[in-house]
A and B are shown apart, each in its own frame.
Chain A
Amino acid sequence: MTEAQAAESLVERILKGDQTAEQEMVERYNRGVLFMLRHRSKNRALAEDISQETWRIVLQKVRAGDLKDHSKLSAFIVQTAKNQLLMHYRSSHQTKVTLDDKADETVDMSDQPQQVLEKYNLAQVVKKLVSELKTPRDRELIMRFYLQEEDKQSICQDYQLSELHFNRVLFRARQRFKELWVEHIGEHR
């Protein structure tokens, strides 16, 4: 079943009042919603808060039949999440919070000691993993592309790679990193 077909089926079941379909929808898309919100906000706690509000609105609108093209459910969810994030930023900059309000305020945990420690550990592991990459070209390519954010074309030129070849190298490098990561840290870290 394609994504469009799965989306159509879910929306139609929700419109018929099938509550398990609502749960399926959240389970199907929530991981992606959290990733996109975290990517956009750089704030894990905020992403979780906004995702809750996003699902409240998505469910409300889908139930009400506001989604006209049922196959576009994922785009609809993305747009709703983006809107909620934007509204959050607008309101947080327009409203001066009182001391009482601050008790409920979302705090970005990325500055907390535990997160700093985790980041530091990650850096150490990555450093070790990158040094273990067997192909010097892969190591250089990763450094130049990710860290120095060099243009793909110029890297391709230097290594005499086609763009397709470059993408494959990058993919393989990422896969290799994943193997080493799992080997050193484990699947769930």
Chain B
Amino acid sequence: MDNMAANQQIERYLLRQMDEQEASEFEAYYLSNNECIDQLEMAERLLEGLRFAKDSQPLSTPIIATKKAANDSRWWRKGLPVWASAAMVMITLFPSLVMYNELKQQSGPSAELSVLSLPLTETRSADQQVIKVPFSEQRMILSMFVDTELEQMVHPSYTFELSAISQVKSQNANPWIFNQLKLDHNDMLYIDLGKSVVNPGSYRFTLLGLSENNEKREVSSGTVTFELQH
């Protein structure tokens, strides 16, 4: 593979558009090729920065309501008990509050960076949980607890999909899809929705578990509502 051919592969690799064999071959190619790794790192940095910087209308001080749509989820129809469904996935908001007005260059922790961890909230009995977020500018990170005591919940990786309900109804869904999610050491999944990229409204979410041979299995689904605080 020459440099030009390798350059053509870089984005496909970073965007995970290669199959496993192709990815492995490309990895074997770049393993000792510092020039290619330079390109990969730069493209990765660009991609990461673009994704992070992407924003739309600001969503100021939202109230986030989460509601399980247990009645229509596939695993529910398979007869899992209520307690299991509630324990499986608890969705809360973990707003990581980043308050900057200008570019900062320091790499160390800053007093201006405030990370607020809200207690996990079960959706077991209540139809709707409301968490008030007392800041107007923030990144939104959805955190989910996956109960790995339940064998059917354990997967090497997960995919999370979020679609606006209006789009789902009009069969014109264009969901956000977050692939290759891994559980952390506390069995949590964190999904960075970015800063101000989610407009107010109701969304349908689906969490899928992926087996090692990429077979998908629905872990949970439901609705989440993003509301502006007036």
> Interface residues, chain A, CB within 8 Å of chain B?
3, 6, 28-29, 31-33, 35-36, 39, 41-43, 72, 74-75, 77-79, 82, 86, 89-90, 93, 96-97, 102, 105-108, 111, 113-114, 116-130, 142-143, 145-147, 149, 167, 170-171, 174, 177-178, 181, 185
Contacts and interface: CB of A to CB of B under 8 A. Distances in A.
B230 interface: no
B37 A32 contact: yes
Interface in B66-98: 96, 98
B171 interface: no
A126 B31 contact: no
Contact of B51 (A29, A96, A97, A147): A147
A78 B28 contact: yes
Interface stretch (B57-65, B118-126, B162-170, B182-190): B182-190
Contacts of B42: 174, 177-178, 181
Interface in B5-21: 7-8, 11, 13-15
Given A31-B37, A41-B182, A42-B182, A171 B7 contact: yes
Interface string B98-139: 101001111111100101000000000000000000000001
Contacts of B46: 126, 142, 146, 174, 177
B49 A126 contact: yes
A6 B7 CA distance: 23
Interface string B134-166: 000001000000001000001010000000000
Contacts of A78: 24, 27-28, 31
Interface centre among B29, B31, B182, by most A CB within 10 Å?
B31
Given A32-B27, A35-B40, A142-B50, 10 more contacts: A36-B27, A75-B25, A78-B24, A78-B28, A107-B185, A117-B98, A120-B98, A120-B100, A171-B7, A178-B42
B214 interface: no
Interface of B: 4, 7-8, 11, 13-15, 24-25, 27-34, 37, 39-54, 96, 98, 100, 103-110, 113, 115, 139, 148, 154, 156, 180, 182-185, 190, 212
Given A121-B105, A126-B53, A106 B47 contact: no
A106 B184 CA distance: 9
A89 B210 CA distance: 13
A183 B107 CA distance: 18
Nearest to B184: A108
Given A42-B180, A114-B107, A116-B113, A29 B31 contact: yes
| Main SS at interface, chain A | helix
Contact of A147 (B28, B50, B105): B50
Q: Which of A42, A123, A124, A129 has the most CB of B within 10 A?
A: A123
Given A74-B31, A147-B51, A111 B184 contact: yes
Contact of A75 (B7, B24, B108): B24
B58 to A, nearest CB: 15
Given A113-B115, A125-B49, A32 B31 contact: yes
A-B pairs with lowest CB-CB distance, top 5: A126-B49, A123-B52, A32-B31, A123-B53, A127-B53
Contact of B103 (A35, A93, A114, A121): A121
B148 A93 contact: yes
A162 B37 CA distance: 26
Nearest to A33: B31
Contacts of B190: 111
A80 B21 CA distance: 14
A94 B51 CA distance: 33
A79 B33 CA distance: 17
A54 to B, nearest CB: 11
